[in-house]
Amino acid sequence: MAEMTPEQLRLLRDVLQSACGFVLRDDLKFIAERRLAPRLEALGLRDFGTYQRYLRYDPRGKEELELAIDLLLPRETYFFREPAQLSTFVDEVIPRLAQDAVGRTLHVWSAGCSSGEEPYTLSMLMGDHPQLSGWDLDILGTDLSQKALSLARHAEYGPSALRSTTPEQRAKFFDAAEQGRVRVKPAYKARVRFGWLNLLDAAGARLLPSMDVIFCRNVLIYFDTETRRKVVQAFSERLREGGYLLLGHSENLFSLTTKFELVQLSGDLVYRKPRVD
């Protein structure tokens, strides 16, 4: 198997970082070598120096870059991830939203939704919320991995996606599929739509509707500070005043922006875009 020199790793990191923000850290070198080895072989390239030049300069480089991104970016996700935060969302954020929304429609964005478990979880939690009965819920999941989006649209999952669900949740929200797999029930699938979006593309994000809530969990951790700042700026543009931003438990906005206020709810800390009165 070809080995990556430190310089080749740096050049590959640069290509990936400017394409999607992902920082290929030094300690991921072996993983990158292993996952990309079949691509070198398929393309008949002898080493990673040639591979990164292929990504940059070959007419098919853009296509290959999408494959490399699919192979290298972590897509780990599962239903009902971070239950404490989800309880806060259900018990404290939704009632506030229901009280001050204009009309009876809520727009929710799962940014970096991977294979769909997060936006479907939100559909399950919101669809059954007593204060949202009769509301129009528009839940959008976006990702830059076409592979992840195609799994999301298919809405069929194996046991690992269900690792944090209870038997009651499995019975209520899923139908049995073949080979021990499950399928999201049509009612919960229907209100979720998916779209391709690179979070670095601020102009693309501006085409989305104004959001009441943005979930962006376990995505910013893979970016450098400057990229985080840009992505969070795009979130602040997309979020309506008084709307909420929920990040992963190891993520925060310290020293990134002053556009959000930190709100201490009884179960968790969340970010809110302040109202300008």
Compute how many residues bind ligand SAM; rule: CB under 6 A: 24
**What mask, x for binding ligand SAM by CB under 6 A, covers residues 236 to 255?**
------------x-------
Question: At its nearest, how many Å lie between ligand SAM and the CB of residue 16?
Answer: 10
Nearer to ligand SAM, 45 or 123 (CB): 123
Question: At its nearest, how many Å lie between ligand SAM and the CB of residue 275?
Answer: 27
Q: Is 114 in the site for ligand SAM (CB under 6 A)?
A: yes
Question: At its nearest, how many Å lie between ligand SAM and the CB of residue 74?
Answer: 5
Question: CB–CB of 9/2 below 8 Å?
Answer: no
**What mask, x for binding ligand SAM by CB under 6 A, covers residues 46 to 85?**
---------------------------xxxxx---x----
Task: Using alpha carbons, select from 175, 174, 107, 173 the residue that is nearest to residue 142.
Answer: 107
The residues in 191-230 that bind ligand SAM, with binding defined as CB under 6 A, are 198-200, 217-219
Cβ atoms within 10 Å of 72's Cβ, excluding its own = 17
CA 204 to chain centre: 16
Question: At its nearest, how many Å lie between ligand SAM and the CB of residue 90?
Answer: 17
Region label for 116, one of left (φ > 0), alpha (ψ between -120 and 50) or beta (otherwise):
left
Q: What's the per-residue H, E or C state across 109-159?
A: EEECCCCCHHHHHHHHHHHCCHHHCCCEEEEEEEECCHHHHHHHHHCEECH
Candidate residues 4, 13, 21, 51; the one interacting with ligand SAM per rule CB under 6 A: 21
CA distance 248 to 155: 23
Residues that bind ligand SAM (CB under 6 A): 20-22, 73-77, 81, 112-114, 118, 143-145, 148, 198-200, 217-219, 248
